[in-house]
């Protein structure tokens, strides 16, 4: 795309130079200074245009800054100033060459006033338009590149923050489930095998690079996670999932491990019991998911190093303009917005 734009600009520049040369030669031929059909006259003007462009591009490439104390003049200001002086010198050199050789066919005699008029005429008709256009184009191009670099840096920083947050979850998740696996190996080898398969699948999912996943994928791994919780707590916690059949789970998206985080939060803060289990409902609509549970606060809660809801809130703030909503009244509920977009 960039190369195509570049070639289009070059073609347009050539077309503009040809048109201006044609128009300018016509004007001076009408004044009797030169002939319109003299090839040398056209070549001279084209040479002036090309030299003006080359000199300006060289100044842009070099980026001179002769007086750094003059802070009110930025680098683009110096490009314009130095390009103007450089092009004036080139024009004067051309003018003297023209008068000394007389190969172009000009009939006007050499004079100081002719030099001044020539310089002024070149200044306003060639130098200012060319220098202004090239400087403006350079400024806009560099501004666009700077914007793209900033966006790339912000994206990389966001990805770094997200990975940091996910890495906080991984050791916590690993420690809890290895303890359960250890006890199952001693008591029930068959159940331990199933636990290990589900645990390994879920752990791989937890460590996935993808931050946004389909609702279908999230729910599939949620089944594994609920199985792990049942092995860990028995029937102390019960979970129900309700959703409308019209929801396309493969084209609706959510941040990975969202539901796992919410269920972990339920078991961490609320006491469940085999005789009096704690119920949690997961209600899925087209636009959001509501995870709700009754409140039965545990007497002692171990510190988690900010793993949980705060972690999830930060991830949503980094990844989406949508925010999660937390309600804490008779029941505790968290509303998660669904993302109807293509996978990032």
Given this model, what pLDDT does residue 277 score?
Answer: 93
Q: Is it the case that residue 57 has pLDDT exceeding 80?
A: no
Mean pLDDT along residues 136-161: 75
Given this model, what pLDDT does residue 313 score?
Answer: 85
Query: Each residue of 271-281: pLDDT tens digit?
Result: 998 889 999 99
Cα angle value 64/70/76 (rounded, 5°): 45
Using a pLDDT cut of 70, give the percent of the chain over it. 61
Q: How confident is the model at residue 343 (pLDDT cuts 50, 70, 90)?
A: very low
Q: Is it the case that residue 182 has pLDDT exceeding 70?
A: yes
Q: Is it the case that residue 326 has pLDDT exceeding 80?
A: yes
Query: Each residue of 29-52: pLDDT tens digit?
Result: 555 555 444 555 556 666 677 777
Q: How many CB atoms lie within 10 A of CB 264?
A: 21
pLDDT higher for 189 or 157? 189
Q: Is it the case that residue 242 has pLDDT exceeding 70?
A: yes
Computed over every residue of the chain, the mean pLDDT equals 75
Q: How confident is the model at residue 247 (pLDDT cuts 50, 70, 90)?
A: confident
Q: Is it the case that residue 61 has pLDDT exceeding 90?
A: no
Given this model, what pLDDT does residue 41 score?
Answer: 55
Residue 281 DSSP one-character state: E
Ranges 28-32, 147-151, 263-267, 297-301, most confident: 263-267
Cβ contacts of 244-250, under 8 Å, gap ≥ 24: 244/284, 244/285, 244/286, 246/286, 247/215, 247/284, 247/285, 247/286, 249/214, 249/215, 249/216, 249/219, 250/214, 250/215, 250/216
Cα angle value 25/29/30 (rounded, 5°): 120
Q: Is 225 helix (H, G, I), strand (E, B) or coil?
A: helix
Using a pLDDT cut of 90, give the percent of the chain over it. 17
Given this model, what pLDDT does residue 104 score?
Answer: 45
Look-up of token digits 């800054």: 65
Given this model, what pLDDT does residue 294 score?
Answer: 92
Mean pLDDT along residues 211-233: 91
Domain positions in the chain are 2-150, 188-337
Given this model, what pLDDT does residue 289 score?
Answer: 95
Q: Is it the case that residue 306 has pLDDT exceeding 50?
A: no
**CA-CA distance, 70 to 53, in Å (whole number)?**
27
Cβ–Cβ < 8 Å for 174, 228: no
pLDDT higher for 46 or 322? 322
Cβ contacts of 100-105, under 8 Å, gap ≥ 24: 103/40, 104/34, 104/38, 104/40, 104/41, 104/44, 105/34, 105/35, 105/38, 105/40, 105/41
pTM summary value: 0.54
Given this model, what pLDDT does residue 158 score?
Answer: 66
CATH number belonging to the domain at 188-337, selected among 2.40.128, 3.60.9, 3.30.559, 3.30.565: 3.30.565
Q: Is it the case that residue 107 has pLDDT exceeding 50?
A: no
Cβ–Cβ < 8 Å for 288, 248: no
């Amino acid at each position: 795309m960039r190369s195509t734009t570049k070639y289009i600009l070059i073609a347009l520049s050539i077309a503009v130079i040809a048109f201006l040369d044609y128009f300018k030669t016509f004007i001076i031929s009408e004044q009797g200074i030169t002939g319109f059909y003299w090839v040398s006259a056209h070549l001279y003007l084209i040479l002036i245009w090309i030299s003006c462009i080359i000199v300006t591009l060289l100044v842009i490439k070099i980026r001179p800054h002769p007086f750094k104390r003059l802070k009110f003049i930025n680098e683009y200001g110096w490009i314009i100033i130095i390009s103007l002086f450089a092009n004036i010198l080139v024009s004067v050199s051309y003018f003297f060459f023209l008068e000394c050789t007389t190969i172009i066919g000009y009939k006007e005699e050499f004079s100081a006033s002719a030099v001044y008029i020539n310089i002024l005429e070149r200044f306003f008709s060639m130098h200012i338009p060319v220098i202004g256009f090239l400087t403006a184009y350079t400024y806009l191009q560099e501004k666009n590149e700077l914007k793209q670099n900033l966006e790339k840096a912000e994206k990389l920083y966001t990805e770094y923050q997200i990975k940091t947050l996910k890495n906080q979850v991984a050791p916590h998740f690993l420690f809890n489930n290895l303890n359960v696996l250890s006890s199952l190996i001693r008591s029930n080898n068959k159940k331990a095998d199933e636990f290990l398969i589900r645990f390994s699948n879920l752990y791989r999912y937890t460590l996935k690079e993808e931050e946004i996943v389909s609702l279908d994928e999230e729910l599939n791994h949620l089944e594994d996670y609920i199985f792990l919780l049942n092995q860990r707590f028995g029937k102390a916690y019960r979970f129900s999932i309700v959703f409308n059949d019209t929801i396309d789970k493969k084209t609706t998206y959510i941040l990975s491990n969202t539901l796992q985080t919410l269920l972990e939060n339920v078991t961490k803060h609320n006491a469940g019991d085999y005789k009096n289990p704690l119920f949690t409902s997961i209600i899925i609509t087209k636009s959001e998911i509501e995870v709700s549970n009754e409140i039965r606060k545990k007497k002692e809660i171990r510190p988690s190093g900010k793993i949980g809801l705060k972690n999830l809130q930060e991830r949503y703030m980094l990844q989406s303009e949508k925010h999660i909503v937390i309600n804490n009244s008779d029941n505790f509920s968290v509303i998660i917005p669904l993302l109807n977009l293509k996978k990032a």
